[in-house]
Amino acid sequence: MQPSPSKNLLQISDLSKVFTIRRGLSSIKFQAVDHASLTIQAEKPEIFTLAGESGSGKTTLARMVLGLQDPSDGHIYYKGVDITGISRKQRRDWFMREVQPIFQDPFATFSPLKKVDTYLFETAKHYGAKSSDRGRNLVDQTLTSVGLSLREVAGRYPNELSGGQIQRISVARALLTAPSLLVADEPVSMVDASLRMSIVNLFKTLKEERNLSVLYITHDLATAYYLADRIAVMLRGWIVESGPVERVLGNPLHPYTQLLKGSIPLADPDRRWDEKADLAPMDIEEYTRAGCRFADRCPHVMDICRRQVPPDYEVEGRTVKCFLYDPAGAGVPVPSQAALDSGAIHHA
């Protein structure tokens, strides 16, 4: 049963995006996001991570949430309102101040020819700081909350600041609208490794001190494990496993999550999983084939996996899209707990 949208901060229901790509003389349609559902709760702030290999649909999903791309199908509810159907005015005056993006490349957010504090003053003014004194105070306070100060930043151009500083400034700019949700797409991947954890910690602090929820997109499972409350793992447009992060990453059930986790020790936040993982490049066949999109790479593949799309099963406090967990057996033997424990079904 679908939860009531008004009980959640964000609820994505059966969201899909179809793209058409050219292959030689013909064109192929594929579902870059395929009936994805997730919720970010409203009662208390949470960090929800979207993880998965390159090309799995994370950015496409985030862009639909931000209204930068129209869904082909499905719904996105924010505070109970279906934002796929709101007016431009409502989007601009309400939604865009409540939900703020943080992009991967902080330098792309700021023009090299414009002083960064100008952006902050403009945003403060636009969102209600009437006098320039109030604007200054608000900008200074907000910069302090991201570990900077107006004194450090005033009059400087983007190229005079480090990647870590400029990403903090883009977070500060987002905070000036007093949002309830940040959508952060790989926000630390272009930041110098030595500064990465300090930005990651900033998201944690903002959650605790400002009641901010974050949809946090990353390749990096170690950071996800450290930062997130819940996680959804994407594979070729599907969410294949989702639930509390300590369950999903502590004891992954989907063979794909096991593959991902097996590629990186969670205890080492400086390592990125994609440096080592044996992951497949973009393969359009995996999107368009019958049955499970992981079948050709799965060490536990069964007959049914090549014929039918696996449904979502509720198992051990998370949702898993895999026939291995069909309680009725789905016409094939289901591994017993003993088989799982013995390592016949490998838990990374």
Ligand X SMILES: Nc1ncnc2c1ncn2[C@@H]1O[C@H](COP(=O)(O)OP(=O)(O)OP(=O)(O)O)[C@@H](O)[C@H]1O
Tell which one of 11, 56, 59, 165 touches Mg ion (CB under 5 A): 59
Query: To the nearest whole angstrom, how small is the minimum distance from the Cβ of residue 264 to ligand X?
Result: 15
User: Strands (DSSP E) along 97-175, which ranges?
Assistant: 99-102
Phi, then psi, of 8 in degrees rounded to 5: -115, 150
Closer residue to Mg ion, CB minimum distance, 58 or 207: 58
H/E segment holding residue 239: strand 238-244
Q: Is 60 in the site for Mg ion (CB under 5 A)?
A: no
Closer residue to Mg ion, CB minimum distance, 31 or 59: 59
Q: Is 32 in the site for ligand X (CB under 6 A)?
A: yes
Q: Is 21 in the site for ligand X (CB under 6 A)?
A: yes
Cα(221)–Cα(238) distance, rounded to whole angstroms? Answer: 18
- 304, with CB counted inside 10 A (0-12, 13-18, 19+), is middle
Partner whose binding site includes residue 55, from ligand X, Mg ion, none (CB under 5 to 8 Å by kind): ligand X
Query: How many whole angstroms from its chain centre is CA 305?
Result: 27
Site size toward ligand X (CB under 6 A) is 13
Closer residue to Mg ion, CB minimum distance, 116 or 240: 240
Both structure tokens of 213: 């929820």
Q: Is 49 in the site for Mg ion (CB under 5 A)?
A: no
Query: To the nearest whole angstrom, how small is the minimum distance from the Cβ of residue 55 to ligand X?
Result: 4
User: Strands (DSSP E) along the chain, which ranges?
Assistant: 8-23, 26-41, 47-51, 73-78, 81-82, 99-102, 181-185, 213-218, 230-235, 238-244, 313-315, 318-320
SS (H, E, C) 241-260: EEEEHHHHCCCCCCHHHHHH
Tell which one of 31, 59, 170, 258 touches ligand X (CB under 6 A): 59
Partner whose binding site includes residue 39, from Mg ion, ligand X, none (CB under 5 to 8 Å by kind): none
Site track for ligand X across 264-303, x = CB under 6 A: ------------------x---------------------
Segment interacting with ligand X, rule: CB under 6 A, options 53-61, 73-81, 123-131, 297-305: 53-61
Query: To the nearest whole angstrom, how small is the minimum distance from the Cβ of residue 9 to ligand X?
Result: 22
Q: Is 28 in the site for ligand X (CB under 6 A)?
A: no
Residue with tokens 């559902």: 37
Residues in a beta bridge with 41: 8
8 A C-beta contact, residue 216 and residue 35: no
8 A C-beta contact, residue 217 and residue 186: yes
8 A C-beta contact, residue 201 and residue 147: no
Closer residue to ligand X, CB minimum distance, 63 or 97: 63
Query: How many whole angstroms from its chain centre is CA 303?
Result: 32
Closer residue to ligand X, CB minimum distance, 45 or 67: 67
Closer residue to Mg ion, CB minimum distance, 59 or 123: 59
DSSP letter for 255, please.
H
Q: Is 108 in the site for ligand X (CB under 6 A)?
A: no
Closer residue to ligand X, CB minimum distance, 279 or 295: 279
Q: Which residues bind Mg ion (CB under 5 A)?
A: 59
Q: Which residues bind ligand X (CB under 6 A)?
A: 19, 21, 32, 52, 54-60, 219, 282
